[in-house]
Structure 1
Amino acid sequence: MLLKMFHRFCFCLWRLVGGVHYRYRSEEGTVTLRSGVTELKNDDQIQWRFGNEETLIAEINEQTNRFSVFDDVLDGRFRDRLTLDNETGSLTITDIRTKHAGVYKAQTNNETISIKLKVDTDVKEVSVKMRNSVTLSSGVTDMMNDDQIKWRFESKEIAEVNVTAGRFSVFDDVLGGRFRDRLKLDKKTGSLIITDIRTEHAGDYRIHTNYLYIFFHLYVYDEISVKEEDSVTLNPNLTEMMDYDDIHWRFGYENTVIAKIYNRRIRLYDDVLDGRFSNRLKLDKQTGHLTITNITSEHAGGYKVHYRMRNVLFILTVLDSAYCCGTTEAAIRLVVTALMGVASAAAVVVLVYDIRSRRAEQD
């Protein structure tokens, strides 16, 4: 008896505060927005609306037996993605994208249900050449009056937008000033611009808006040219190794490990790839720098160093060799594509239901 009373109390409280439900879907998956109706009656009418302007995207009129979707509105944003349930009036959206994030409303005879659709994306992989600039897109085309955006790098907040307060802030002094004088915010979209990129800017970025969670992994690459029989040192920009640092150097399209540091111990794999690096590799225990001596054309290609959740790429071309006959641009495209292997975070869609009963308001 007490248990039943407790369940009833929880249900009533849920109705009063506008009950919250969470569901999870992939960005390209499907989600069903519940209308709040268990079975349509003869006089039922339901209108589904989207966004701040409450654009009509679907409608049900049971009396005239009309089930309509208006998927050409908003420049076709919902084209071929909307389906109505003939029994409950629930709305299904397929092949979800970030542009579908926002507030949906189901207006029925007796109540209005507000549904906040939040979209999380897969990790977006972005590569940028060292000393260049990059723009990480917020996924927003035009910010609304109530928009709030937070940008984070490796869990540290580096920028914030609060449209209501008219505040556009960058926190470029965090992390020892790593981003000092390098961060800008687009005042129309809230996108983040990073200038004069260095290897220490490689890593994981995250943006959190009212309706979106977007994750980025930024790869930084550098182009290095060296003559045959010379030496080259690849610098990951680590001034000093920590005890916990784990550094892996990889080469080529197959990401073959050629050197690593683990627990302050150096291991060279110069016998891999038919011994092409034999007696040519040196690894600095203090900085993680990799030196390759007596370069030949077979050492041209892509090198990747992974440390502290960062991936830095080096595109090595060898002059006066057969390799130089190919274009650097083509080499970069192939190498970056092959080496940009990173596990993607699970993408999810979060729904927040806010139910307000018109009947209750009238009472």
Structure 2
Amino acid sequence: MNRSVLFWLLLVVDGVFAADDVKSVSVSVLVGDSVTLNTDDTETQGAEALRWKIQDEKQFIAEIDKEAGKKPDVPGNNDERFKGRLELDDQTGSLTITNLKTTDSRVYELHIKKKESKCTRFNVTVRDAVKTVSVMEGESVTLPTGVIEIQGYDLVLWKFKDNSVAEINKGTNQFLVYDSDDVRFKGRLQLNEKSGSLIISNSKTTDSGDYHLNMSSSSHFLQRTIGVTVNESGLSPGAVAGIVIVVAVLLVAAVVAVYHCRK
């Protein structure tokens, strides 16, 4: 039997790698996020093939086979579970899953074939959460990263309408808010240095829109969008009409009650 075929047949059998050859990574994300599962340059350098699969499944969902001279392929996009939501980086072999669903919570395995074969397991957990925030004008808005501490992330970047508004860069040990020159937020932005969450104080209607969060680590890259709606603090005509009706009904009820009591 061809040695290459034999290798990949053995690959799908549990226990084929020694404990030292398997690396595990845990990734926690929210529904609707996009996540990129990164490859390690030191491990992929000189690799003959890179293949992605779901643990305990035989079929590969993405692969780069340099040995066979094939073009990079993503057969997982034909799978009803993913339906075009998988992207494979032709150069690095990193796998991106867009518009995540709770059903995407699985263990994804990257198998690297080279002189010393490697396997990395990404335990991806997708949690359901509200990704929209609605507040009244003047209230504070907190946009969460979804983590208690950002120890595993090297970069946390918040953007609004394509402009960076806050950043945590561990490489340069910087915690920055870009509100000094932006008249929209002028002194109203705060950054939680532990969780990376963004706080907007004394919110205004002009703060309404989509806020984009990028978080990167050596193992994965996360993208999230949180929609913010800041409502005017004044009562709308509909709300005023509703209050008038309620008051009128209460007055009528009071008059009727007094009448019956006197009778």
1:196 corresponds to: 202
After superposition, residues 161-310 of structure 1 pair within 5 angstroms as 161-175=168-182, 177-210=183-216, 211-225=221-235, 299-300=237-238
Aligned length: 169
Q: Which amino acid aligns with 2:10?
A: L
Between the aligned partners of 2:144 and 2:135, the Cα distance in structure 1 is: 14
Between the aligned partners of 1:101 and 1:128, the Cα distance in structure 2 is: 35
Between the aligned partners of 1:183 and 1:189, the Cα distance in structure 2 is: 15
After superposition, residues 70-81 of structure 1 pair within 5 angstroms as none
Is 1:125 the counterpart of 2:156 in the alignment?
no
Contact 1:122 1:215 in 2 (8 A): no
After superposition, residues 16-35 of structure 1 pair within 5 angstroms as none
Cα gap change, 1:184 to 1:49, in 2 (>3 Å) = same
1:44 corresponds to: 16
1:84 corresponds to: 56
Q: Tell me the CA shift for residue 107 of structure 1.
A: 8.4
- CA deviations over 1:265-310 (Å, ceiling 9, x no partner): xxxxxxxxxxxxxxxxxxxxxxxxxxxxxxxxxx51xxxxxxxxxx
1:156 corresponds to: 163
Cα gap change, 1:102 to 1:208, in 2 (>3 Å) = farther
Contact 2:179 2:189 in 1 (8 A): yes
Q: Secondary structure at the match of 1:38?
A: helix
1:282 corresponds to: none
Q: Tell me the CA shift for residue 124 of structure 1.
A: 2.3
2:36 corresponds to: none
Between the aligned partners of 1:325 and 1:213, the Cα distance in structure 2 is: 51
Cα gap change, 1:154 to 1:101, in 2 (>3 Å) = farther
Cα gap change, 1:161 to 1:151, in 2 (>3 Å) = same
Between the aligned partners of 1:156 and 1:220, the Cα distance in structure 2 is: 19
Cα gap change, 1:49 to 1:107, in 2 (>3 Å) = farther
Contact 1:48 1:105 in 2 (8 A): no
Q: Which amino acid aligns with 1:45?
A: F
Between the aligned partners of 1:163 and 1:102, the Cα distance in structure 2 is: 28
Contact 2:55 2:109 in 1 (8 A): no
Q: Tell me the CA shift for residue 144 of structure 1.
A: 2.0
Contact 1:203 1:219 in 2 (8 A): yes
Which structure 1 residue ranges, 4+ long, deviate > 6 Å from structure 2? 92-95, 99-105
Cα gap change, 1:45 to 1:114, in 2 (>3 Å) = closer
Contact 1:50 1:103 in 2 (8 A): no
- What percent identity do the matched residue pairs reach? 23
Q: Tell me the CA shift for residue 320 of structure 1.
A: 6.1
**Cα RMSD (Å):** 4.4
Residue segments in structure 1 that go unaligned for 5+ positions in a row: 1-36, 53-81, 227-298, 301-315, 327-363
Contact 1:317 1:323 in 2 (8 A): no
- CA deviations over 1:91-129 (Å, ceiling 9, x no partner): x999855x9799976689942245788x9x999221011
Contact 2:23 2:120 in 1 (8 A): no
Contact 1:147 1:164 in 2 (8 A): yes
Between the aligned partners of 1:45 and 1:110, the Cα distance in structure 2 is: 10
Q: Tell me the CA shift for residue 225 of structure 1.
A: 4.1
Cα gap change, 1:100 to 1:157, in 2 (>3 Å) = farther
Cα gap change, 1:83 to 1:129, in 2 (>3 Å) = same
Cα gap change, 1:185 to 1:100, in 2 (>3 Å) = farther
Cα gap change, 1:191 to 1:317, in 2 (>3 Å) = same
- The structure 2 residue matched to 1:140, chosen from 136, 143, 147, is 147
Q: Which amino acid aligns with 2:156?
A: I
- CA deviations over 1:233-268 (Å, ceiling 9, x no partner): xxxxxxxxxxxxxxxxxxxxxxxxxxxxxxxxxxxx
Cα gap change, 1:88 to 1:136, in 2 (>3 Å) = same
Cα gap change, 1:106 to 1:213, in 2 (>3 Å) = same
Between the aligned partners of 1:137 and 1:324, the Cα distance in structure 2 is: 40
Between the aligned partners of 1:104 and 1:136, the Cα distance in structure 2 is: 32
